[in-house]
Structure 1
Amino acid sequence: MRTWKQDPEAVRADILNAATAEFAQNGLDGARVQDIADRIQTSKRMIFYYFGDKDGLYRAVLEQAYRSVRQREAELDLKGLSPVDALRRLVEFTFDHHRDHADFIRLVMIENIHDARHMRKIESLSGTSNAAIDQLREICEAGKAAGLFRDDISPLALHWQISALSFFNVANRSTFSMNFGDGLFSEQAQAELREQVVKSILAIVM
């Protein structure tokens, strides 16, 4: 067990990781701070020292989740690619990221249940979110300048469409499988769906 005196930032990160799993599994109301503490063999007092209270911890988890996905988008380094290839890479990344980070999807679903009232208190999220739209705007402008993309493409609407197709794949997997079987969730089927999502988005902009 690490202590705050040995490595305070690592302890903070451990708490956030444990809290992410707990909130994603049980929601804000169902999660217990004691269970989070037990996951990493620390104390509730230590958690409150870092985050103030349960709501503060939950907001920190949300902030980290969104910052992480935006940081990974920025690290894609799309500037050297053609507009079509850049958009393809971004869609592939979003599909893969959401599939590989089910906890992120669950956290977004939970915060929607709470009408995003906790997100409104996180000042950094507006700048974080704007970065995603700015990235798409650059791709769209390059595509229009090259005569490849339609002139009426909205980066905001395009972000919505990419998110919707990638989000549903994870958010509705359980109920979709219950209703229709899990044939779309094998590795091969997921690879085919991923390519279909890419082609759908490219069809929208071309």
Structure 2
Amino acid sequence: MTETPPRQRDAVRTRAEVLAVATEVFADDGYSGARIDEIARRTRTTKRMIYYYFGGKEQLYMAVLDNAYRGIRKAEQTLQVDEMNPIDALRELAELTYEHHLRNSAFIRLVSIENIHRGKYIRKLESLSDLGQPAVTILDGIIAQGKKQGAFREEVNALDLHLLISSYCVFQIANRYTFSYLFDPDFTTQPRQDRMRGFIGDVVVAWATAPTPPTR
């Protein structure tokens, strides 16, 4: 087996370190407030080297966005939903999504920042154009199996479920400080996090399995 040359290994490691630090800097300071000099200082590299690897501030920010969005898709792919009954699979997916958002708060802040910019940069990322499809595909499979077994009502669809799960998971990170101030829950305690994780699983399962309401 041919070993990777040390210089190439260093380049891969340096690029990964820059990407990790840039994720935190952009998440903390936003696109406008982030400084390449600060990223260079924290990675012990140079501004010139960052430009060499990524091309510029905008390209680095877009690389951060790309990497952040791929993280949740990779997490979803770890689920072996074909081996579960559809109700358990749906609950597992909802709770996994909650856990991923909880452990990757920078992702939520980046999403908020990108929405402040009205999706200006994510629209330039052709690499993400089909990234939402795997999430919908997983849900489609779960829903199809659930309907086949008579567990889910016919109105259930993947987009509605994905929106429901995502909105809950995003809110508990994006609004935790204002919500805590107004209502005094401590989102950092393990009992609170366990309760919230279980809650989203209960909600999506209850919605998917609820009887079809009568037509008005």
Q: TM-score under structure 2 normalisation?
A: 0.91
**Mapped pair 1:38 → 2:66:** no
**Mapped pair 1:10 → 2:10:** no
CA distance in 2, matches of 1:6, 1:145: 50
**Mapped pair 1:91 → 2:94:** yes
Could you tell me whether the CA contact under 8 Å between 2:73 and 2:131 is conserved in 1?
yes
* Structure 2 residue aligned with 1:174: 177
CA distance in 2, matches of 1:199, 1:157: 16
Give the AA of the match of 1:126. Answer: S
CA distance in 1, matches of 2:152, 2:7: 52
* Structure 2 residue aligned with 1:205: 208
Give the AA of the match of 2:51. Answer: F
Q: C-alpha displacement at 1:117, in angstroms? A: 1.0
Could you tell me whether the CA contact under 8 Å between 1:62 and 1:119 is conserved in 2?
yes
* Structure 2 residue aligned with 1:141: 144
- Flag the 1:61–1:4 CA change in 2: closer, same or farther, 3 A: farther
Q: Structure 1: which 4+ aligned runs deviate by more than 6 Å?
A: none
Root mean square deviation, CA, Å: 1.3
Give the AA of the match of 2:103. Answer: D
* 1:62 aligns with one of 57, 65, 68: 65
What SS is found at the alignment partner of 2:137? helix
Q: C-alpha displacement at 1:73, in angstroms? A: 0.6
What SS is found at the alignment partner of 1:7? helix
- Flag the 1:59–1:89 CA change in 2: closer, same or farther, 3 A: same
* Structure 2 residue aligned with 1:196: 199
CA distance in 1, matches of 2:79, 2:48: 39
Q: C-alpha displacement at 1:13, in angstroms? A: 0.7
What SS is found at the alignment partner of 1:164? helix
* Structure 1 residue aligned with 2:23: 20
CA distance in 2, matches of 1:4, 1:17: 20
CA distance in 2, matches of 1:41, 1:50: 15
* Structure 1 residue aligned with 2:162: 159
CA distance in 2, matches of 1:52, 1:23: 16
- The size of the alignment, in residue pairs, is 204
Could you tell me whether the CA contact under 8 Å between 2:176 and 2:187 is conserved in 1?
no
Could you tell me whether the CA contact under 8 Å between 2:75 and 2:100 is conserved in 1?
no
Could you tell me whether the CA contact under 8 Å between 1:92 and 1:198 is conserved in 2?
yes
Q: Deviations over 1:44-96 (max 9, x none)?
A: 11111111110000000000001111011101222101101110110110111
- Flag the 1:194–1:103 CA change in 2: closer, same or farther, 3 A: same
Could you tell me whether the CA contact under 8 Å between 1:16 and 1:60 is conserved in 2?
yes
Ranges in structure 2 where 5+ consecutive residues have no aligned partner: 1-5, 210-216
CA distance in 2, matches of 1:54, 1:4: 24
